[in-house]
Amino acid sequence: MLILILPLVGLLLGYLFYSRLVTRVFIPYKDPTPAISVNDGVDYVPMPKWKNYLIQLLNIAGTGPIFGALMGAKWGPIVILWIVFGTILGGAVHDYMAGMISVRNNGMSSTGIVTKYMGKVMRYPILILIVFLMIMVSATFARSASDLLTAITGVPFMVWLAIILIYFLVSSVLPIDKVIGRMYPIFGILLLTMAVTVIGGLILGNYEFPSLTLENLHPTGEEYLPDMFITVACGAISGFHATQSPMVSRCIQDEKDGRTVFYGAMVLESVIATIWALAGMTFYGDTAALADALGSMGSSGVVYSISTGVAGLVGGIMAVIGVIICPITSGDTALRAARLMIEEDRQSTDKSQKGRFVCVGVLLIVVVALCMLDFTVLWNYFSWLNQMLACLVLWAATVFILVEVKNRWYSLITAGPALFMTLIVSSFIMYSPLGLHLDYWLSIAIGTFIMIAVGIAYVRLFLYKGKLMASSEEA
């Protein structure tokens, strides 16, 4: 049981103590927030902290902390360390900074944040990249949910796809408090209930939990560095979250809520990821059996197998509902984020419902086209691009602190995980068959060199900021 208790205690302590250090970046808090100062009744809508928290949780989670954790569990208990420390020092910091920097910039989207703090040269590359990623997320989740619903009901695929896309359109266009604000808290509770039911079933069923070990237990001996850190994204750190936090930043009524809404939601997502990673290792007994199950049944099949195995019919029903609803609720917020980014970049003055429908309608045409194609090759790059985005957002947050915050030492909070993710994304694209497929140790060496080079640039900026401050004080 220690393998369950220690990670949960660690995540709790991270939230109680480390998050307080992170929040000092934005103290003193400013008032009013964009939700109040702008309040357009559509995207800027004040909502209570508890509702924003559950919406943020479902926005960033979906099936990510379930599927990603199960895939990461193939490396064994070592994945738990990445989930815990990756969250406390990286993922939760990333989500909090993305949300709070957005608050300080009038609800600015992640594309605008990266452009503002990383330079205008990033404007179109980052806009095209993120919008396309959002379209891919929507298409993938619409396709997977439609396939599963067709298999269960026998209703033709195109019927379910049409229903899901209509929901995407409505949810992406209507005021955030009308659909998302009312339904997402319920779905967030469902996601939590699934995790609690599974772990409770394992405990009551006297399953033997794996022992704590740092040994790489991957069945094929696949290196955990950098692959595991790319595979497990939503449970530890994920660039996708940077596209979701700004949406909720337009709804918080007090900057003090940011700690709970942004940092806290990521911690809870990691609790869910921890539970599912342990469930995969515990239910199947070892990583080899888990890998075989994932290979033969897929992630959805494994979730259903575990749920029915430990909770019977109730678990099976919850699993089916979960693997249908969670992807759908990530797909619609991905489209909403894409719409907001495009409107922001074009400085659109058309705030009418018709204008929003037209924007999302065009995006849905691309979604439908992707649903009809086999874009597996493109999707294989998504995990790397996702972590690359997380890396960029952390560096943008670092520049924000150096530029906007008086105490430049706080920049170490974001620069540390940013440097680590620089190593991960650099070495992965060098080593992976998706990239240059170089020798493993050569790839790690190149990644380390890139990390050091970027680190030197950070130190120079750090010292330059210090000299500027000293000069201004003397003057």
pLDDT tens for 147-161 read 888 988 899 999 999
Considering the chain, what is the average pLDDT of its residues?
Answer: 92
**101-110, 283-292, 457-466 — which is least confidently predicted?**
457-466
In-domain check, residue 338: yes
| pLDDT tens-digit map of 203-218 | 999 999 999 899 999 9
Q: Which domain holds residue 137?
A: 2-381
Q: Distance between CA atoms of 473 and 121, rounded to whole angstroms?
A: 32
In-domain check, residue 314: yes
Query: Residue range 386-404: average pLDDT?
Result: 96
Contacts of 226 (CB under 8 A, 6+ apart): 423, 424, 425, 427, 428, 431, 444, 447
User: How far, CA to CA in Å, does 156 sit from each of 38, 151, 169, 311, 366?
Assistant: 44, 9, 21, 30, 21
pLDDT of residue 351: 65
In-domain check, residue 128: yes
Q: Distance between CA atoms of 422 and 420, rounded to whole angstroms?
A: 5
The DSSP call for residue 233 is -
In-domain check, residue 407: no
Q: Distance between CA atoms of 2 and 9, rounded to whole angstroms?
A: 10
Q: Distance between CA atoms of 460 and 395, rounded to whole angstroms?
A: 14
Residue 25 sits in a domain of what CATH number?
1.20.1740.10
Q: Distance between CA atoms of 323 and 321, rounded to whole angstroms?
A: 6
Closest CA to 178 of 55, 50, 71: 55
| pLDDT tens-digit map of 412-432 | 999 999 999 999 999 999 999
The DSSP call for residue 1 is -
Closest CA to 81 of 4, 9, 7: 7
Q: Distance between CA atoms of 373 and 30, rounded to whole angstroms?
A: 48
pLDDT class of 291 with cuts at 50, 70, 90: very high
Give the highest mean pLDDT range of 114-123, 263-272, 293-302, 327-336: 263-272
Closest CA to 386 of 264, 241, 268, 279: 241
Higher pLDDT: 465 or 124? It is 124
The DSSP element (H or E) to which 107 belongs, if any, is none
Query: Residue range 116-142: average pLDDT?
Result: 92
Instruction: Note the Cα 341 to chain centre separation in Å.
Output: 17
For residue 441, pLDDT over 90 is answered with yes
* Identity of the residue numbered 242: A
Higher pLDDT: 149 or 454? It is 454
For residue 315, pLDDT over 90 is answered with no
In-domain check, residue 175: yes
Residue matched to tokens 């396709």: 143
Q: Distance between CA atoms of 223 and 195, rounded to whole angstroms?
A: 28
In-domain check, residue 234: yes
Alpha helices in 372-433 (DSSP H): 376-380, 382-404, 412-431
Closest CA to 53 of 190, 251, 243: 251
Domain count, the chain: 1
pTM for the whole structure? 0.95
pLDDT of residue 282: 97
Contacts of 30 (CB under 8 A, 6+ apart): 104, 255
Encoding tokens for residue 277? 């990673």
Closest CA to 342 of 319, 361, 317: 361
Terminal-to-terminal C-alpha distance of the chain: 61
Residue matched to tokens 């919850």: 318
Q: Distance between CA atoms of 447 and 432, rounded to whole angstroms?
A: 12
Q: Distance between CA atoms of 309 and 322, rounded to whole angstroms?
A: 16
Q: Distance between CA atoms of 410 and 383, rounded to whole angstroms?
A: 29
Largest CA distance in the chain: 76
For residue 349, pLDDT over 70 is answered with no
For residue 469, pLDDT over 80 is answered with no
pLDDT of residue 475: 43
What's the alpha-carbon Rg for the chain, to the nearest Å?
A: 22
In-domain check, residue 63: yes
pLDDT of residue 151: 82
pLDDT class of 4 with cuts at 50, 70, 90: very high
Q: Distance between CA atoms of 103 and 87, rounded to whole angstroms?
A: 22
The DSSP call for residue 28 is S
pLDDT of residue 176: 95
pLDDT of residue 242: 97
Quote the percentage of the chain above a pLDDT of 90: 79
User: How far, CA to CA in Å, does 216 sit from each of 77, 86, 183, 238?
Assistant: 8, 18, 41, 23
In-domain check, residue 223: yes
Q: Distance between CA atoms of 323 and 120, rounded to whole angstroms?
A: 39
Query: Residue range 447-459: average pLDDT?
Result: 97
The string of DSSP codes covering 179-216 is: THHHHHHHHHHHHHHHHHHHHHHHHHTT--PPPP--S-
Query: Residue range 258-268: average pLDDT?
Result: 98
